[in-house]
Structure 1
Amino acid sequence: MNKKLVSAILTGLFAVTMGFAAQQLKVQASSQYTVVKSSFPAGGTIYHAKSFTKNAYVWKHLNHKQKIANLKNYPNSSWYRTGIITLKHNGKKSVYYLVSNSSPLSKKTITGFVWRGYLKKGYNPDFTKVKSISLDNATNSEYNQFIKHSKYQQLTRDILALFPNSTVSKPLSRYALFREPKDKVVTDVATFKAMDDFLNVKNRLTNQQRLAKIKAILAANGYTAANRQREYIIGIYLTNFQWSDQYDTGDMHQGFVIGTK
């Protein structure tokens, strides 16, 4: 089962930044800035700005001649790091990251170099405008905060309200989407073909209509209102029924499973 649903954006950004880096490292700089070392770790890493009140510039070139962004002007954004470059300037070394804005994406992708001291590892804690995050990059806490605060996660919150004594697991949410054994954090996990089919075929129902359908599927599988009061571990990944291709490609676009402690 392929993973393009949650990795397509990051993969695209990696390709863009790698091409960008190849060009910029040739430009190296100027007599004032010299590239000492560079590396491009596989997989990339998510960062966000340490401060949204201080200037923190993203530079188009390693020679620091053109500013293309100021991190403080992107209060909702996270940044995807694909390169690590050590520069030497006036006899001193400093480390810069090659980054692109990842979530939420602006109309134009910004790719450039920023001093690593301006960044903090992890997703931006302001998830209000974020449509989706990568289950490969997010921590369990970040994923739960995303569900709690993103305006695009209302249906997820409505479904979780049906299980008031349960918790969401990011690894099990990844299992709900990809069904990879390594993400199965508990032995007993219930999956539902009817749920998979419903979640992965587009429809124009309202959230309330979708919730009613999901409740019916749960009840048909023994998860009545009374049984939902028990403690479960939930795996869930929803994107508001929005994706670019159809379920018949074999991809899971959304997923929901229930684990028993």
Structure 2
Amino acid sequence: MNKKLVSTILTGLFAVTMGFATQQPTVQASGKYTIVKSSFPIGGGTIYHAKSFTKNAYVWKHLNHKQKIANLKNYTNTSWYRTGIIILKHNGKKSVYYMVSNFSPLSKKTLTGFVWRGYLKKGYNPNFSKVNSIDLSLASNTDYKQFIKQSPSQTLTRKVLALFPNSKVDVKASEYALYRDPQKKPQGTVLEFKDLDQYVDNPNHNTESQRVAKIKSILLNNGVDLDGHYTIGISLKNFVFNPNIDDQQQGLILVER
């Protein structure tokens, strides 16, 4: 199975989990709230997080504002996935609301509702201390660097990156390292290593220190200058694999710059 296909499948699964709007849903407002315009893009969305964790900011089940389902200030580790945009008129004034779904790995169920856009800030929640995964296609470089810095799942990644004191990580290069989609191949000379791919994408019982040493050894055997200036594409998950996926789940590439 090629990596582009896997990426498509994962996106489909992600869409189902997050209540992805593949069809324009029916949204209703009471007599006090009138929908002026609504848009539910197919095949895309945007990540947001709460702008403040000290002020009340409610997510409503319906646009009639009768039932609160969440208060954003209580979701300190959560990002929200926007799937719809609604312009609502109330008492002669227009406001823009977003249809959002809870995007937290800590959630036991998915929450979907409506929230005033002024309560949200674009991008992943910068608190990744309890988050073990991130969608590379939706993350910015800032998001990904913060995720690597904080996430419990990124201890190996941090140690591997420490091998390259003069290089920088890039989220788009990291997406390519994982899926190897030719259409997303970074510009420049991309260094890929079959023996490294084989090692990082197969389970083993090595300790973390042994894994770092093995990765370093493979890189050196391939003539890599660890003090060089590279753009790094990296996606490591501490060798925790999903048995239901038969394609690459970890990856590391270098781009000469």
**1:1-261 matches, cutoff 5 A:** 1=3, 2-3=6-7, 7=11, 10-14=14-18, 16-18=19-21, 22=25, 25=27, 28-41=28-41, 42-223=43-224, 227-245=225-243, 249=246, 251-261=247-257
For residues 80-121 of structure 1, the C-alpha deviation after alignment (integer angstroms, 9 at most, x for no partner) is 000111222222221111111113341121111111110011
Q: Matched residues in 1 for 2:79 and 2:250: separation?
A: 23
Residues 204 and 180 of structure 1: CA distance in aligned 2, closer, same or farther (over 3 Å): same
CA distance 1:58–1:92, change in 2 (3 Å): same
Q: Alignment partner of 1:213: what SS?
A: helix
Contact 2:24–2:40 under 8 Å retained in 1: no
TM-score by length of 2: 0.89
Deviation at 1:5, TM superposition (A): 8.1
- Distance in 2, Cα, partners of 1:142 & 1:231: 22
- Indicate conservation of the 8 Å contact 1:234/1:259, yes or no: yes
> SS state of the match for residue 83, structure 2?
strand
RMSD between superposed Cα atoms in Å: 2.2
Cα distance between partner residues in 2 of 1:37 and 1:18 = 16
Greater than 4 Å deviation, 4+ residue runs: none
Deviation per CA, 1:130-152, whole angstroms, max 9, x where unpaired?
A: 21211111112221121122222
Offset, 1:8: 5.6
**Gapped regions of structure 1 (runs ≥ 5):** none
The Cα of 1:169 is off from its aligned counterpart by 1.4
Does structure 1 retain, via aligned residues, the 8 Å contact 2:137–2:172?
no
TM norm structure 1: 0.88
In 2: Cα distance, 1:102 partner to 1:20 partner? 20
CA shift for structure 1 position 163: 0.9
Identify which range, 71-80 or 104-113, moves more after superposition: 104-113
| Structure 2 gap ranges (5+) | none
Cα distance in 1, alignment partners of residues 253 and 101 from structure 2:
33
1:213/1:4 CA distance change after superposition, 3 Å: farther
Percent of aligned pairs sharing the same letter:
58
Counterparts in 2 of 1:9 and 1:118: CA distance versus 1, 3 Å? farther
CA gap of 1:52–1:241, structure 2 versus 1, over 3 A, is same
Q: What SS class does the counterpart of residue 240 from structure 2 fall into?
A: coil
Letter in 1 for 2:231: I
Q: After TM superposition, give the deviation of residue 9 of structure 1 in Å.
A: 5.9
